[in-house]
Structure 1
Amino acid sequence: MNTREISDGRHEWLAGEMESWTAQGLLTGDQAARILGLYGSPEERSARRGGQAVSAITSLATLLVGLGVLLLVAFNWMVLPAALKIVLVVAAMLASHAGGWFLRFRMGRRAASDALFFLGCLFYGGAIWQTAQVFNITVASNTGFWWWAVGSLPFALASRSLALHGLVAAILATYTGLSTVGWFFSSGGSSERLSDPAFSIPLLALPGLIWAYGRKSAGGVGMYVMLLTWWVLVQPTAWRLDDAPIFWVGSVGALLLLIAECHPARSPLAIPYRTFGVLLTGGVLLLLGVYTFNSDALGRVMPTPLVIETAVAAVVAVGLVVLAAELERRRATLSGSGYGSAPRVGNAFLDERRRIPLGLVLLMAAMGFWNALVGTPLAPTIAANVAMLALSLWLMMVGLREERGRPFTAGVLYFLTWAVCRYVDMFGDFGGMVGAALMFFLCGAALFGVARFWQRRSRKGSDHA
């Protein structure tokens, strides 16, 4: 019987609760033992952790060995005949994959087979350019990376190796950068081609993302979310719409926060979306919260692309909320709770989990329209500072709601970052020490207010329980 993965801390908590329930007569000793058996024995959990560590170390060692082999062959490459070059490249690739297949399906050694599959995919990447060199075939750098990813993806899906999925995501990310913004660093400039938006990236990332969701792997989800986020961020630059799409970056970050809140409550698969969303949105708000940045930099943004970018993000955000409400309604209906208790679309827009992320998307759209139509920096500066406060308090509430320390700590640190930035502004130009002292008093009062609000909310929850 396959056991479910669970951390040692949660297993200890569950064992303690089982003892309490058994003592109260809610469970028998046999029932408690059978429930704990679903999560494996201490030896099985220790072996699972050891296997994961061995797999990670073996993948790293394989990467170093592969690089060493490639460098050794490259050192003597020019003196080898063309036929021998092809034989060496193909033989190394086939031998690695054959060894990986034998170890996986004949000997059951998964870690070793994953290492050989990883090595074979490295050899396959080197074989693309070496074969092209032998036959004098012109292979663009981005095209070679595309074929490398396409050839490695089936092995990643078949072996279910997180390291191989990481290799595929890294190759696709490199291909995305070379295809979409490579022109920006090339000598030819924008005259080389209109755009290359790398349309195949979502299709190539989708199987890996489905695999990660099926395995409930937060790490796998994080790798492909990072890849897709990178692809979405560079689209305005690829289409020559905007070389510095700051509002688009903030909108994408807010959309990631919204996608995280469209997951079921406390889902670990929402963590990658929330992490990248906080980094993008928080970083953009730090810049937009400075008056001098708004007055100096934002006036250079082209109005028409800015309106297009922010309008698209707002439409996508509304669509996400509607889709999440419909999925929750169907989930509630299938669970037998009926249509009456299922969330409606109107209530979904007022859901406190999605209220701040949706508001941030709409705020980025409004700031983009304001900058395109009006252009004065004062209103965006004030709005960005209010949004920074809202984001920090929302992160604290997420941490308290899910009983997780990292979001709460991130909210506190972001609030302190906002306070320090505003202290520098006020101390330098707008109020000296008196103004800075007043600002810190207001920050302290705001935190006291949040603590009081959460205390009252907790009391109401316990009264209704």
Structure 2
Amino acid sequence: MRLIRLLKGELAREAAEWVEEGLISDAQAEGICRRYGADYHAINSRAQGYAVLVGLAYLFLGLALITVLGANWEEIPRALRMGGLVLLTVSTHLAAILRYVHGDRRAGIGLMLLGNLFYGASIILIAQIYHLGEHMPDGLFWWALGCLPFALITRNPWLCLQANLLALVWFLLEVFNGYLPGLFPLFFLSSAYVLWRGPQSALLMLVAVASAGLWVEYGLSWLWGDGASGLLFDIHPENLFVAAGLFLLLFAFSHWLSQRQDSKPRDYAALLSIWSLRFALLFMLVMSFARPWRALLEYDWQHQLGLWTVQLLLGAATLWLAYRAGRLLSVALLFAALLIVQIALIFDGNPDHAVAFQLVANFALLGTGIWLIVRGITNGISHYFFLGVTAILATAFLRYVDLIGDYLGGAALFTLFALLLMLAARFWRRVREGEGSL
């Protein structure tokens, strides 16, 4: 029942049809929808459609005004340009505040989004007037920072998403210039506050989590780097294991959230769990080749102290959340497996053993696919079932394209895969027959 939380509009419509068919009462339909935070009377779906259309209209209105100003920019006197930009930005935000205070919150939010666009255009154009372009990313930072108070006061996800996306662009531009954006956490922490206190927003949650992960990874990369690579991330193999630890932390956090009483944290838990699982499968698919293992075995591991410190901190937080969620055993086994692989790579250091690591990764991937299929059938989670089937088929296709060893070795591996799947199927049939006899 996890994915049904992501389809609330569909649930409300289905509940209405059940009432019409006499399967449930109107009160029962309202109770079901209330259980998952859905609107039984389908009011929200129409309002959201209206809000999206109005928001797009405001967006194109802002683009039209900016285009007109840009086309006639050189003909307008400098003082008039400056005053017009300030007046346009201030008047739009004043109109937005008045509409918001007087109860028309959707129109107020739309005007705030438009005013933020005008604010950003004003920063860019005023910098052009007075030739203030020494460090271009600074303009984006002040643009994002100017959007943030409106998002925090209204606790609106769209305003916060606008500020976070602008901050993310600023972060990437600073990275391209080789700097560490120290104030970037201000934005994704603000997003976390809005997610906690404001309306539900899956998109804002994903952007905030991605922003936090990027900042942690780049901060470690910047700390471990020697500055010789110049731009962008100076990726180290240590970053790979930190990323795995971060997603394991998210997985434990999702189980902790799923224990909350409100529907909103449970919805976030379902989304985090799904994306953590997808990352794990993608990571295992990448590691099903020999080349990544060979590169890891050839690496010097110069930053072991930092890696182990970060992993221990992540592990402590992960295990604490898993303990609070009642999933300590499964999460502890996953964390132990991650540490075992990390230790084996650091202390082995022989690239000739890459194929052995590859074989273990392929069998782990196959086992994960089987577990997902069985879990999906047992608990009625279709996403797990199809994800498990996809993982097994992708493994078979990749092994056909990139054979392990020679053709006979590939055929032997496929045969072993088939035997494991047949054994899993027989075990599954025996379990089902045992349940039927009871």
TM-score, normalising length from structure 1?
0.74
Partner of 1:410: 387
Assess, with a 3 A threshold, how the Cα gap between structure 1 residues 431 and 449 changes in structure 2: closer, same or farther: same
Q: Do 1:221 and 1:272's aligned partners in 2 also have CA atoms closer than 8 Å?
A: no
Q: Do 2:160 and 2:194's aligned partners in 1 also have CA atoms closer than 8 Å?
A: no
Shift of 1:142: 2.3
Within the alignment, does 1:204 sit opposite 2:187 as a pair? yes
- Taking the aligned partners of 1:122 and 1:463, their CA distance within structure 2 comes to 66
Partner of 1:270: 269
SS of corresponding position for 1:78: coil
- Taking the aligned partners of 1:227 and 1:403, their CA distance within structure 2 comes to 33
Within the alignment, does 1:50 sit opposite 2:46 as a pair? yes
Equivalences for 1:242-261 in 2 at 5 Å? 243-246=234-237, 248-249=239-240, 251-261=242-252
Within the alignment, does 1:218 sit opposite 2:217 as a pair? no
- Taking the aligned partners of 1:44 and 1:30, their CA distance within structure 2 comes to 9
Equivalences for 1:36-115 in 2 at 5 Å? 45-106=41-102, 108-115=103-110
Deviations 1:109-166 (A, max 9, x none): 3332222111111111122232233334345222222221111112123334333222
Deviations 1:247-279 (A, max 9, x none): 523541452244233334483212443454345
- Taking the aligned partners of 1:77 and 1:125, their CA distance within structure 2 comes to 16
Deviations 1:204-251 (A, max 9, x none): 211211321343433331121122122223334433537233552354
Partner of 1:439: 413
| Counterpart among 318, 321, 326 of residue 321 in structure 1 | 318
- Taking the aligned partners of 1:127 and 1:461, their CA distance within structure 2 comes to 69
Partner of 2:284: 285
Q: Unmatched 5+ residue regions in structure 1?
A: 23-28, 184-195, 329-342
Assess, with a 3 A threshold, how the Cα gap between structure 1 residues 71 and 456 changes in structure 2: closer, same or farther: farther
Deviations 1:15-63 (A, max 9, x none): 969x9999xxxxxx897588479689x9963221011122223323333
Within the alignment, does 1:146 sit opposite 2:138 as a pair? no
Partner of 1:232: 216
- Taking the aligned partners of 1:14 and 1:457, their CA distance within structure 2 comes to 37
Shift of 1:411: 2.7
Amino acid at match of 1:224: A
TM-score, normalising length from structure 2?
0.78
Equivalences for 1:241-390 in 2 at 5 Å? 241=225, 243-246=234-237, 248-249=239-240, 251-264=242-255, 265=258, 267-295=266-294, 297-298=295-296, 301-305=299-303, 307-308=304-305, 310-325=307-322, 327-328=324-325, 349-351=328-330, 354-355=331-332, 357-359=334-336, 361-362=338-339, 365-366=342-343, 369-370=346-347, 373-376=349-352, 377-390=354-367
Amino acid at match of 1:249: L
Q: Is 150-159 or 116-125 further displaced after alignment? A: 150-159
Identity %: 22
Assess, with a 3 A threshold, how the Cα gap between structure 1 residues 364 and 61 changes in structure 2: closer, same or farther: farther
- Taking the aligned partners of 2:26 and 2:53, their CA distance within structure 1 comes to 40
Within the alignment, does 1:421 sit opposite 2:406 as a pair? no
Q: Do 1:356 and 1:390's aligned partners in 2 also have CA atoms closer than 8 Å?
A: no
Assess, with a 3 A threshold, how the Cα gap between structure 1 residues 144 and 31 changes in structure 2: closer, same or farther: closer
SS of corresponding position for 2:215: helix
The root-mean-square deviation of aligned C-alpha atoms, in Å, is: 3.9
Amino acid at match of 1:304: Q
- Taking the aligned partners of 1:144 and 1:361, their CA distance within structure 2 comes to 42
Assess, with a 3 A threshold, how the Cα gap between structure 1 residues 454 and 149 changes in structure 2: closer, same or farther: farther
Deviations 1:258-303 (A, max 9, x none): 42333344832124434543454444433332124443x4467452
- Taking the aligned partners of 2:328 and 2:191, their CA distance within structure 1 comes to 31
Amino acid at match of 1:430: G
Larger RCO (CA under 8 A, 6+ residues apart): 2
Deviations 1:154-211 (A, max 9, x none): 212333433322222211211221223433xxxxxxxxxxxx3222222321121132
Partner of 1:176: 171
- Taking the aligned partners of 2:323 and 2:89, their CA distance within structure 1 comes to 48
Partner of 1:124: 119
Q: Do 1:256 and 1:274's aligned partners in 2 also have CA atoms closer than 8 Å?
A: no
Amino acid at match of 2:57: A
- Taking the aligned partners of 1:95 and 1:259, their CA distance within structure 2 comes to 43
Within the alignment, does 1:392 sit opposite 2:369 as a pair? yes
SS of corresponding position for 1:77: coil
Deviations 1:393-450 (A, max 9, x none): 4544664576432243223212211121112222xx6342x54444334333333444
Assess, with a 3 A threshold, how the Cα gap between structure 1 residues 300 and 438 changes in structure 2: closer, same or farther: closer
- Taking the aligned partners of 1:254 and 1:412, their CA distance within structure 2 comes to 25
Equivalences for 1:10-29 in 2 at 5 Å? 12=14
Within the alignment, does 1:9 sit opposite 2:23 as a pair? no
The number of residues matched between the two structures is 414
Partner of 1:189: none
- Taking the aligned partners of 2:27 and 2:55, their CA distance within structure 1 comes to 41
Q: Unmatched 5+ residue regions in structure 2?
A: 1-6, 226-232, 260-265
Q: Is 166-175 or 277-286 further displaced after alignment? A: 277-286
Shift of 1:314: 2.4
Partner of 1:337: none
Assess, with a 3 A threshold, how the Cα gap between structure 1 residues 113 and 360 changes in structure 2: closer, same or farther: farther
